[in-house]
Amino acid sequence: MYSDLLHALPDVFAWTNFAAVVIGVIAGIVVGAMPGLSATMAISVLVPFTFGLEPLVALGLMAGIYNGAMYGGAIPAVLLRIPGTPAAVATTFDGYPMAQKGEGGFALQVAVVSSSIGGIASAFALMLLAPPLSKVTLLFGPSEVFWVAVFGLASIIFLLGGNPVKGLISACFGVFVSVIGSDPIYGNDRFTFGQLEMLDGINIVILLVGLYALPPVIDLLETPLKTDGVNSSKLGTQSLWKALPRMKSYWKTWLRGSLLGIWIGILPGAGGSMAAFMSYNEARRTSKHPETWGEGEPEGVAAAEVANNADTASALIPALTLGIPGTAVAAVMLGGLLVHGLQPGPMLFRDNPDVVFGFMWQFLFGAILLVLLGGSLATNSFARLLNLPRPLLGSVIIVLMLIGVYSIHGRMFDVYLMLGFGAIGWVMDRLKFPLPPVVLGLILGGFAEENLRLALRIGRGDPMVLFQNWTSLILVALTVAVVVGPTLKKRFIDSRKKA
Amino acid sequence: MKTSLTALALALTATAAFAEYPDKPVEVVVGYSAGGGTDVMARTVAQFLEQELGDGASVVVKNMPGAGGQIGFTEVSEAAPDGYTLGSFNLPAALALTKDRAADYDVDSFTYLANFVEDPNTITVAATSPFQTLDELIDAAEADPGAITLGLSSLGGNDHFAANMMQDASGAEFTLVPFKGASNARTAIMGGHVAAGTMTLGQTSNFPDELRVLAVLADERSPFRPDVPTAKELGYDVQMSSLRGIVAPAGLDDATTDRLRAALSAVNENPDFQEMMAEQGNPIAFMVGDEFAATSAKQDGIATQIWAETPWK
């Protein structure tokens, strides 16, 4: 197998194949940075065109876009508090406060370095460990995946913010949105009001764009004359070489985030946002100074960005070996492989080693190129956008949002839906309801429901099916530890203060 | 004599129609996302159909995913029957979903042009499974009704119908577990989370060392796996498969219908097309015109019957 890996390398350096990766990374960063345009969308637009391309050119473009977009999403997350992709939500927590403090440039550098490290770790996992890791995927049946979702949902308690009641209401709203559409087992319509467009549920991008992008844009337009606290002259940009030493202490966060991201990636369904949330939580939980988190802690940006890139290549492990994509992006990429007659499964590695292993190399080079291309692109061009007059900037973002949401399925219905979520988001923002629990609730609510119901069907209604093996029990124990741990710790500290 | 006259008449009408059709791009609506099995078939057919229609004709695939293909099927049924809107058609899925929910089309809403792919369902277990034959699996299901779980790609599709028909034919009772899509069901079988499944033969083909196909639910053994017995040979007269073809809206005029049917037949006879389909792992079962319409009507009957006897929602 490893000789196949080396054998595939020369093809990757054919100039067309390499250029595809470079173009892909740049396009990915641009797409990721635009609110409303996501990697999923960019790649699904690309798939039909790849019909006429050489496989490695097509796949190189996709690998580049995927890597680029996962970082690109961080740019507006840091500069405007608008996550460019669903996976960049956790990047806003500390990235935007950093930008307000005049450290936006450093935040972007942390983001690009962390993204690159996550991507490289993930590419190595894909190249070296795909067959054994696909065995890990097989361990996770419906009951185990249900517990993974519960474990992820448990991290909501860290995201509740100052007012837990409001946080829980937000989370419930997210779970409610996940219920809309046909139910995962029988296909009964739920809250669709007879609309065919609602049958497949609410696309995460529609909710995210409405909820996250519209309120900040309204803010931008409301105060057109006030000069912005953040502009590129105050970005605090310095050269990457000077910034790197400050990041030395993040190695633990990088390692943890990479492993978490790779693990989440090989499990079907949840993907980048869950990886970023979990990595952020774990890094904060183990931090020596958790009180600075959420106020502009660079390590928070590092934790989120390393994890949301670490699931990119690893999400392809179950996609290539089993045909089950780990993320929505991997799902469209699988389509790109099918177009070229590359059917997933163990035979793929035997029949088309040059293409498959070449694709893996392209992922690695995509991740490495990110540092070179991403750093300068972000600080030299995107950050300049902030110098635009605010009404212009706001209008540009609104147009991008409308185009992006319309192009998901090519229908106006989604645009109206997005505007509706925007109105809800604006009200929630004004009333200080936290938004992250909505996103997590939507992603994990449906995931948990589907797998719980499948598990119960397998167990013929007996809930004990959920506790039948070690994988499940370990996940239950972890969940309990995450939920109860901080409360116990707080009690302990409180009681010592009283004494 | 009669056939040669028909052929002559067909050739004449085809030449007559040739002058005006197609004078703008022909759209093939696919009810699934780009890159799926149906999409790849439609794109391959479109590419060769362009050549057959000749004269710079352009055939464009348009993806309209959503609601299990319903959005795309509805679009085709409601389009003008002028030969410029065609659609991919999946059986039994396209008609099964007219049973369990309100749909704006039915079996008569289409002009059936040609079917290209037929992929038979199977009874498949993991290679590590204790069940070596179909009889062993059915004996286990009879010994403890419901204890044997069957992973399906969804309810109301060919996997589900196959499982239902197998239950009827054998008298055994299975617990049906509908996953989201065939790959998830296959993974659950490989991971031992369900005992067996009814996925199509094409979906097993890339996992020869991981899966054991116990039976093919077809009239005859598959040329891809001549070693696997049919369920019929084993005493269970069950046939179910997934079909993919090309349709037009109902009411397409005869001249255009004949022209398209002739062009699609020519596509099928092109060795390059056959080679591309084989590369994609698509088993070709070409049916044109009335034969395709009859198959569709038969599938509609099966779906109606199963929905009446054991509604799945």
ipTM: 0.84
What is the token pair recorded at B229? 């017995």
CB distance A440 to A152 below 8 Å: yes
Q: Which residues of A touch B155 (CB under 8 A)?
A: 185-187
Greater confidence, B42 or A246?
Answer: B42
CATH superfamily, domain at B2-119+241-309? Bordetella uptake gene, domain 1 (3.40.190.150)
Contact B124, B204 (CB under 8 A): yes
B-chain CB neighbours of A141 within 8 Å are: 188, 191-193
Give the pLDDT band of residue B188 (cuts 50, 70, 90).
Answer: very high
Mutate to test the interface with A, among B28, B75, B187 (most CBs of A within 10 A): B187
Chain B residues whose CB is inside 8 A of the A450 CB are: 180
Nearest-by-Cβ selection for B35 from A138, A332, A457: A332
Q: Locate all alpha helices (DSSP H) within A155-293, ordered by sequence.
A: 156-159, 164-179, 204-208, 214-222, 240-243, 251-266, 272-286
Every domain of chain A and the residues it spans: 2-468
| Cβ–Cβ gap B36/A335 under 8 Å | yes
Whether A315 contacts chain B with CB within 8 A: no
CA distance, residue A316 to nearest chain B CA (Å) = 14
Domain chopping of chain B, boundaries? 2-119+241-309, 122-216
Nearest residue on chain A to B153, alpha-carbon basis: A185
| Mean pLDDT confidence for B158-184 | 92
Option in B40, B149, B154 nearest A458 (CB) = B149
Of the residues B27, B30, B160, B206, the best mutation for testing chain A's interface (the one with the most A CB atoms within 10 Å of its CB) is B206
For B22, residues 6+ apart whose C-beta sits below 8 A from its C-beta are B53, B57, B58, B83, B84
CA distance B223 to chain A (A): 19
pLDDT at A272: 72
DSSP A180: -
Could A142 and B205 be called an inter-chain contact, meaning their C-beta atoms sit closer than 8 Å?
A: no
What are the chain A neighbours of B190 within 8 Å (beta carbons)? 138, 322
Q: What is the mean pLDDT of residues B78-83?
A: 93
Give whichever of A374-383, B64-73, B177-186, B289-298 has the largest mean pLDDT.
B289-298
Q: What is the CATH number of domain B122-216?
A: 3.40.190.10
DSSP collapsed to 3 states, B229-257: CECCCCCCCCCCEEEEEEEEECCCCHHHH
Q: How sure is the predictor about B296, in pLDDT bands with cuts at 50, 70 and 90?
A: very high
Q: Which sign, positive or negative, has the C-alpha torsion B172, B178, B181, B185?
A: negative
Best interface-test mutation with B: which of A136, A352, A409 has the largest number of B CBs within 10 A? A409
Beta carbons of B121 and B272 less than 8 angstroms apart: no
pLDDT of B243 reads 94
Residues of A in contact with B39 (CB under 8 A): 335, 339
Residue of A27, A58, A10 lying closest to A336 (CA atoms): A58
The per-residue pLDDT for A232 is 45
Q: Give the pLDDT confidence score for residue B32 in this predicted structure.
A: 86
Query: Chain B contact for A323, CB < 8 A?
Result: yes
Average pLDDT over residues B34-55: 88
The confidence score (pLDDT) of residue B1 equals: 46
CA distances from A287 to A78, A93, A260, A291, A297 (A): 21, 15, 17, 9, 11
pLDDT of residue B161: 92
Residues on chain B touching A200 (C-beta within 8 angstroms): 66-67
pLDDT tens for chain A, residues 1 to 499: 678 888 888 888 889 999 999 999 999 998 888 877 888 888 888 887 877 788 899 999 999 999 998 888 898 898 888 888 888 889 999 999 998 888 888 898 899 999 999 999 999 999 988 888 888 888 888 999 899 888 888 877 666 667 788 888 998 999 999 999 888 888 788 998 888 788 888 888 889 888 888 888 888 888 755 555 444 445 666 677 777 888 888 899 999 999 999 988 888 766 678 889 889 988 888 888 888 888 889 999 999 999 989 988 898 898 888 888 877 888 888 888 887 778 888 888 888 888 889 999 999 999 999 988 887 776 667 767 767 787 888 888 888 889 888 888 778 999 999 999 999 999 998 998 888 888 888 888 888 999 999 999 999 889 999 998 888 999 999 888 877 877 777 777 778 776 6
Instruction: Compute the nearest-CA separation of A186 from chain B (Å).
Output: 5
CB count within 10 Å of CB B293 equals 19
Fold agreement between B2-119+241-309 and B122-216: yes
Provide, as residue numbers in chain A, all residues whose Cβ is less than 8 Å from the Cβ of B184.
Answer: 268, 324
Amino acid at B134: L
Spell out the alpha helix ranges (H) of A410-469: 412-430, 436-458
From chain A, the residues in CB contact with B276 under 8 A are 341
pLDDT for B299: 92
In B, minimum Cα distance to A336 occurs at B35
Using a CB-CB distance cutoff of 8 angstroms, which residues of chain A are in contact with residue B100? Answer: 187
The amino acid that residue B110 corresponds to is: F
A residues 140-179 lying closer than 8 A (beta carbon) to B: 140-142
pLDDT in tens, B230-287: 999 999 999 999 999 999 999 999 999 999 999 999 999 999 999 988 877 788 999 9
More reliable by pLDDT, A335 or B12: A335
Nearest chain A CA: its distance from B166 CA (Å): 19
Name the minimum distance, in Å, from the CA of A153 to any CA of chain B: 21
Nearest by CB to A339, from B35, B177, B207: name it: B35
Strand order across the beta sheet in which B284-288 lies:
B59-63, B26-30, B85-91, B241-249, B110-120, B284-288
- The whole-number pLDDT of residue B16 equals 47
Closest residue of chain B to A340, computed from CA coordinates? B280
pTM above 0.90, yes or no: no
